[in-house]
Amino acid sequence: MSQTTASIADDALDLLRATHERINHMRVLFNSINKDMKHGKSRDIEELANLGSFLGYDWANYVDCEVEKMQKALVAAEVAK
Instruction: Give the DSSP per-residue string, 22-38.
Output: HHHHHHHHHHHHHHHHH
CB atoms within 10 A of CB 33: 19
Give me the sign of the Cα torsion angle 47, 51, 52, 57. Answer: positive
Q: What is the mean pLDDT of the chain?
A: 92
pLDDT at 6: 93
Residue 54: which residues within 8 A CB-CB, separation 6 or more? none
d(CA 17, CA 3): 20
pLDDT at 78: 86
29-43 average pLDDT score: 87
23-44 average pLDDT score: 89
Of 23-27, 34-38, 40-44, minimum mean pLDDT range: 40-44
pLDDT at 1: 60
**Side chain identity at 52, as an amino acid letter?**
G
